Chain A
Amino acid sequence: MSKTGLAQFQQVFIEESLEGLDTMESSLLALDNGGDAELVHTIFRAAHSIKGGAATFGFPEMSSFTHEAESLLDEVRGGKRAIDGAIIELLLRTVDCLRAMFARAQAGEPLNDAVAEALRNELAAAMGRGAPVAGVQARREVDQADAWTVRFRPHAGMLAGGNEPLRLIRELAGLGELTVKTELDRLPATLAALEPTECHLGWTIELKGPARRADIAAVFDWVEDECDLAIEAKHIVAEVASPVATPATPAAPAANVADAGAVRAQREASAESSSVRVSIDKIDGLINLVGELVITQSMLDTFRGGEVDASRLAMLEHGLAQLARHTRELQESVMGIRMLPIASVFNRFPRMVRDISQKLGKQVKLDLVGEQTELDKTVLEKIGDPMVHLVRNAIDHGLETPEKRRAAGKQDTGTLTLAASHRGGSIVVEVSDDGAGLNRDAIVSKAVQRGLIASAEGMSDEAVAELIFQPGFSTAAVTTDLSGRGVGMDVVRRNVSDLGGTVTIRSTQGKGSVFTITLPLTLAIIDGLTAAVGEERYIVPLVSIVESVQLKADAVRSVAGGGELFRFRGEYLPVIRLHDAFGCDTAVQAIDEGLMVVVEGDGARMGLFVDGLIGQQQAVVKSLEANYRRVQGISGATILADGSVALIVDIAGLVRLQGRRKAA
């Protein structure tokens, strides 16, 4: 097999295995919550395919590692061992460790690390539990050696089964230096007596190099039943009780949580540019629509050339209406291809909530609502991190310990709800908890201390809640490794606004908080107002617009340092003249002749000065970066009905640009 061919298959294997790991994880969590025994089979099957695949695709370390977990699962499956919290915990960490291994496999790094070694020993130890001590010892002694003899005699039918000794021995060569001796005693003496598809050869292979029995066995995993195999250690490693063999102390759960997150992040980052799976139904729907479009087009074709007489005018109109309808439907369907259920994001939370709440000694029930809500793949991939922040915050700061909850007259177990739904052209994701709610006094005193506000007098609860989105703001008395480092809410808001969405908070002291993320369904189409600036047209995203006002010439004041300000509802906002920012020559200069569009982005407001507004329209976003290059303050381009190009204003980018100018 060629290198690229194998790499391609490896990629597919890795993708499928990651899905298998997700299945294992969710099944383990379900088991933890008292799920039925069928789940054990599901977990076992997932582990088994990963093991087999890993052996075939050249990851012997991973294969032998999974083998340990599989053996443990086999005992559970066979009823020899009852599944308990400790085993579930161990297997969950195995899942994390395998994810990390796959990440390393993709990065081309060595698969094993200290964590994997330690975990492997824990798994082996869990298997050995209850067995006679001497037995364990004896097994340990021959588990690792620096020279092995492998006797391998395929059964006659092995070749016909597609298993090639050549491949197996090549794979074995990856573990150390080989001396291969062929045994010809079973070989027939004459051609006539030979059935060429049967295997009459046998091999005795000397392997030099530090290897584990399990690594060697993993190579022959697929052919277990089709050959006689004997693996003997020649030299026993002197140091049996090497550091890795000592019963490993479980790594701190916090590190695990972080690791799992990091691996996920890495994996998702790599997935961002990759593929999307589309159901056949959706594709059939598309083909159907394209068919309709072709019919409409051929119908319209009959009007080409020649005069259209009045009697056929109705038909032409009908055709054009059909064309419009089909185009719209086609557009919706094509967008639908990129739409995936939010379940893939939600699914990571049961595990995370379990780990964090255990660590903090809190009891949390997680409710997921609207998992089937579909949203754009790009949005989906980027919504994960902000949600992780919000969920962490909710458990760490929001929900109380059982004692405090009892004292407040609530149930011991707090409820955390993740809900997704469609609302108009947006998707709304809510993270709500029934915890303590925001502590207004703590926020106010922190804000005063940091000089963000002078006093909270007259500030509404909403305005106070807004303060937590300020960079570096944290009221946590103790900085934990989960949250409270003050890099949270501002990042959440930044991430969400990069997606063209908003985050709002609603909180009642003692009752809980609700964080609401509102996002556009897709990034490919935006609703915008078309603004005229000189000869140019710019699209201002509708979500950013607060309102537009016509100002008198004296309403705008110049300030020292070259900026301009105007008064809007009691606050002074900076003015950005779009013609200055983008260099348009023939634009309106006088304030009272143009229009001030008040926009909000990145938590700040400002006025965009334009010649006038032309109208509202949906703009299909075309990447400027892909077609030209990145331009500060512009998020993309679109093509107007007359065929000319209009640039889409990046409000958040302009705000940042303005901030930098101010700082300079």
Chain B
Amino acid sequence: MGGRTKGKGEARVIALPADFRLASTADVKASLADALGASAAELDGAAVERVDSAALQLLLVFRREAAARGLALAWSGVSVAMREAADVLGLSQVLELPASMPA
């Protein structure tokens, strides 16, 4: 259940897995590293049902490196579970989660 990258060429869409926790971070990290080569990327967290701090930490590092490389980043979906976890951990702002978006 690793994160899959869809789309070819420019805007890469990274769909985050439903169980986005410690065990899945290695897979997701691979697809995120892959996306760093593109010029734009979209994170899709609409399907995320379970998430932990390791997963959000991974996204933080990804965003940080993407910003350094000048990659255009956007969210295409954020599930309730993900938003809630980010709020608890005080990460909603740094992750730039959209104010409200249909999950």
Question: How far is the CB of A592 from the nearest CB of chain B, in Å?
Answer: 82
| Interchain CB contact (< 8 A) of B22 among A159, A179, A192 | A159
- Which residues on A sit within 8 Å (CB–CB) of B99? none
Asked whether any CB of chain B lies closer than 8 Å to the CB of A241, the reply is no
User: How long is the Cα–Cα vector from A199 to B54 in the complex, in angstroms?
Assistant: 7
Question: How far is the CB of B60 from the nearest CB of chain A, in Å?
Answer: 6
Of residues 19 through 37 on chain B, the ones whose CB sits less than 8 Å from some CB of chain A are: 22, 25-26, 28-29, 32-33, 36
| Interchain CB contact (< 8 A) of A164 among B32, B52, B65, B91 | B52
- Which residues on B sit within 8 Å (CB–CB) of A200? 57
User: How long is the Cα–Cα vector from A199 to B57 in the complex, in angstroms?
Assistant: 8
Chain B minimum-CB-distance residue to A194: B61
Question: How far is the CB of B69 from the nearest CB of chain A, in Å?
Answer: 10
- Which residues on A sit within 8 Å (CB–CB) of B68? 189
Question: How far is the CB of B46 from the nearest CB of chain A, in Å?
Answer: 20
A184-B60 in contact given A166-B53, A197-B25, A199-B53 (Cβ < 8 Å): yes
Question: How far is the CB of B7 from the nearest CB of chain A, in Å?
Answer: 20
| Interchain CB contact (< 8 A) of B88 among A180, A188, A191, A192 | A180
Chain B minimum-CB-distance residue to A162: B22
Asked if B62 and A191 make an inter-chain contact with CB atoms under 8 angstroms apart, the answer reads yes
A191-B52 in contact given A182-B89, A197-B22 (Cβ < 8 Å): no
| Interchain CB contact (< 8 A) of B61 among A160, A173, A187, A197 | A187
User: How long is the Cα–Cα vector from A203 to B53 in the complex, in angstroms?
Assistant: 12
- Which residues on B sit within 8 Å (CB–CB) of A197? 22, 25, 54
User: How long is the Cα–Cα vector from A173 to B87 in the complex, in angstroms?
Assistant: 12
Asked whether any CB of chain B lies closer than 8 Å to the CB of A190, the reply is yes
Asked whether any CB of chain B lies closer than 8 Å to the CB of A320, the reply is no
Asked whether any CB of chain B lies closer than 8 Å to the CB of A328, the reply is no
Asked if A187 and B65 make an inter-chain contact with CB atoms under 8 angstroms apart, the answer reads no
A190-B53 in contact given A180-B88, A203-B89 (Cβ < 8 Å): no
A166-B88 in contact given A191-B29, A192-B33, A194-B58 (Cβ < 8 Å): yes
Of residues 115 through 172 on chain A, the ones whose CB sits less than 8 Å from some CB of chain B are: 159-160, 164-166, 169-170
- Which residues on B sit within 8 Å (CB–CB) of A194? 29, 57-58, 61
Question: How far is the CB of B42 from the nearest CB of chain A, in Å?
Answer: 17
| Interchain CB contact (< 8 A) of B90 among A160, A181, A191 | A181
Asked whether any CB of chain B lies closer than 8 Å to the CB of A305, the reply is no
Asked whether any CB of chain A lies closer than 8 Å to the CB of B40, the reply is no
Q: How large is the interface on B (under 10, 10 to 19, 20 to 34, 35 or more residues)?
A: 20 to 34
Asked if B65 and A169 make an inter-chain contact with CB atoms under 8 angstroms apart, the answer reads no
User: How long is the Cα–Cα vector from A188 to B60 in the complex, in angstroms?
Assistant: 10
Interface string of B51-84 (1 = CB under 8 A from A): 0111001101110110010000000000000000
Chain B minimum-CB-distance residue to A196: B25
Question: How far is the CB of B15 from the nearest CB of chain A, in Å?
Answer: 18
User: How long is the Cα–Cα vector from A165 to B54 in the complex, in angstroms?
Assistant: 9
User: How long is the Cα–Cα vector from A180 to B87 in the complex, in angstroms?
Assistant: 8
How many residues of chain A have a CB within 8 Å of chain B? Answer: 26
Chain A minimum-CB-distance residue to B85: A166
Of residues 421 through 446 on chain A, the ones whose CB sits less than 8 Å from some CB of chain B are: none
Asked if B89 and A191 make an inter-chain contact with CB atoms under 8 angstroms apart, the answer reads no
User: How long is the Cα–Cα vector from A430 to B28 in the complex, in angstroms?
Assistant: 70
- Which residues on A sit within 8 Å (CB–CB) of B54? 159, 196-197, 199
Of residues A173, A191, A200, A203, which shows the largest number of chain B Cβ atoms within 10 Å of its Cβ? Answer: A191
- Which residues on A sit within 8 Å (CB–CB) of B33? 191-192
Chain B minimum-CB-distance residue to A204: B90
Question: How far is the CB of B37 from the nearest CB of chain A, in Å?
Answer: 12
- Which residues on B sit within 8 Å (CB–CB) of A199? 53-54, 57
Chain A minimum-CB-distance residue to B36: A191
Asked if A190 and B61 make an inter-chain contact with CB atoms under 8 angstroms apart, the answer reads yes
Asked if A180 and B60 make an inter-chain contact with CB atoms under 8 angstroms apart, the answer reads no
Asked whether any CB of chain B lies closer than 8 Å to the CB of A201, the reply is yes
Interface string of A177-217 (1 = CB under 8 A from B): 00111101001111110101101110100000000000000
- Which residues on B sit within 8 Å (CB–CB) of A201? 53, 57, 60, 89
Asked if B91 and A191 make an inter-chain contact with CB atoms under 8 angstroms apart, the answer reads no
Chain B minimum-CB-distance residue to A159: B54
Of residues B26, B29, B54, B64, which shows the largest number of chain A Cβ atoms within 10 Å of its Cβ? Answer: B54
- Which residues on B sit within 8 Å (CB–CB) of A190? 61, 65
Chain B minimum-CB-distance residue to A164: B52
Asked if B89 and A165 make an inter-chain contact with CB atoms under 8 angstroms apart, the answer reads yes
User: How long is the Cα–Cα vector from A159 to B32 in the complex, in angstroms?
Assistant: 21
Asked whether any CB of chain A lies closer than 8 Å to the CB of B94, the reply is yes
| Interchain CB contact (< 8 A) of B32 among A173, A188, A189, A191 | A191
Chain B minimum-CB-distance residue to A182: B90
A184-B88 in contact given A191-B29, A194-B61 (Cβ < 8 Å): no
Asked if A187 and B64 make an inter-chain contact with CB atoms under 8 angstroms apart, the answer reads yes
A164-B53 in contact given A189-B64, A191-B61, A191-B62 (Cβ < 8 Å): yes
Of residues A159, A169, A194, A197, which shows the largest number of chain B Cβ atoms within 10 Å of its Cβ? Answer: A194
A169-B88 in contact given A191-B32, A197-B25, A199-B53 (Cβ < 8 Å): yes
Question: How far is the CB of A628 from the nearest CB of chain B, in Å?
Answer: 48
User: How long is the Cα–Cα vector from A336 to B7 in the complex, in angstroms?
Assistant: 67
- Which residues on A sit within 8 Å (CB–CB) of B62? 191
| Interchain CB contact (< 8 A) of A184 among B32, B65, B94 | B94
- Which residues on B sit within 8 Å (CB–CB) of A180? 88-90
User: How long is the Cα–Cα vector from A170 to B84 in the complex, in angstroms?
Assistant: 11
User: How long is the Cα–Cα vector from A192 to B65 in the complex, in angstroms?
Assistant: 10
Asked if A187 and B57 make an inter-chain contact with CB atoms under 8 angstroms apart, the answer reads yes
Asked if B53 and A159 make an inter-chain contact with CB atoms under 8 angstroms apart, the answer reads yes
Question: How far is the CB of A39 from the nearest CB of chain B, in Å?
Answer: 41
Chain A minimum-CB-distance residue to B69: A190
- Which residues on B sit within 8 Å (CB–CB) of A196? 22, 25-26, 28-29, 54, 57-58
Question: How far is the CB of A243 from the nearest CB of chain B, in Å?
Answer: 36
Interface residues of A (CB under 8 A from B): 159-160, 164-166, 169-170, 173, 179-182, 184, 187-192, 194, 196-197, 199-201, 203
5 A-B pairs whose Cβ atoms sit less than 8 Å apart in the complex: A166-B88, A180-B88, A182-B91, A191-B62, A199-B57
| Sample of 7 more A-B contacts, CB < 8 Å, known A159-B54, A197-B22 | A169-B88, A191-B36, A196-B22, A196-B25, A196-B28, A196-B29, A196-B54
